[in-house]
Amino acid sequence: MNIRNLKASLISAIIVLCLASIGGYLWYLYESDVPVNDPIDIPVDQPLETTVEEPVTQPQEVVSIVSEKFIAPLVNAEVVRPFFSLTKSKDQQVAAIIEYEGVYRANYGVDYASDTSSDVLAVASGVVQEVANDTLFGNKIVMQCGKYTVTYQSLDSISVSVGDTIKQGDIIGVSGENGYDSELSKHVHVIVEVSGRYLDLEKLVSDKTVVS
């Protein structure tokens, strides 16, 4: 064999070995499931994806508010002393004057009496703020009814306590007598105030004023 043929044989053998090595490596990669030239995407400073559950909105209960109007404090009530007002007639103004120990004062409440019942009714719904006894005006109850402050005086007895929530028409006491209105028989004296002003309950009832 000449030298030229020997060199050719060696080159051929080297090429075969290289191809065999490359083929073996490729077969290894195939069998080991290692992806070739498959870039791996590594996120940097990416926020984590989170799932936020939307709050379940419960249906709101609809509360029906029925507007109430002032009522008289006694069944079959009769006004025995009216509220004093300069807009009333002279006779009504005179009837609304209270004389006590020689001193005359205007009546800024309304006095009611009844021949059929002595149970005093709440003229409006509200919360009892005060319960007290006064030697001159008798037992009294003070209630807050919305923006109105309602005071009941000349009570023979009281059937509510401070903090009680009272509905309109509930019995809160019994009408009686007191030393200030000694000329009147059993009655209840009711004072209505709002923002420092006295209001005529008789007019509130006749005008069907809404309690608010």
- Structural contact between residues 88 and 73, judged by C-beta atoms closer than 8 angstroms: no
- The pLDDT-based confidence of 6 (bands split at 50, 70, 90) is low
**193 phi-psi bin (left φ>0, alpha ψ -120 to 50, beta other):** beta
Residue 16 DSSP SS3: helix
**Would you list the domain boundaries of the chain?**
78-206
User: What's the count of helices (H) and strands (E) in the chain, helices before strands?
Assistant: 3, 12
Please state the pTM of the whole predicted model: 0.68
Tell me how many degrees the CA angle 120-122-126 measures, rounded to the nearest 5.
Answer: 150
Q: Per-residue pLDDT for 63 more than 80?
A: no
Residue 20 has what pLDDT?
52
Domain spanning 78-206: CATH 2.70.70.10:
yes
Residue 18 DSSP SS3: helix
Least confident piece of the model among 47-56, 110-119, 169-178: 47-56
What's the mean pLDDT in 68-74? 97
Q: Which residue has the higher pLDDT, 9 or 205?
A: 205
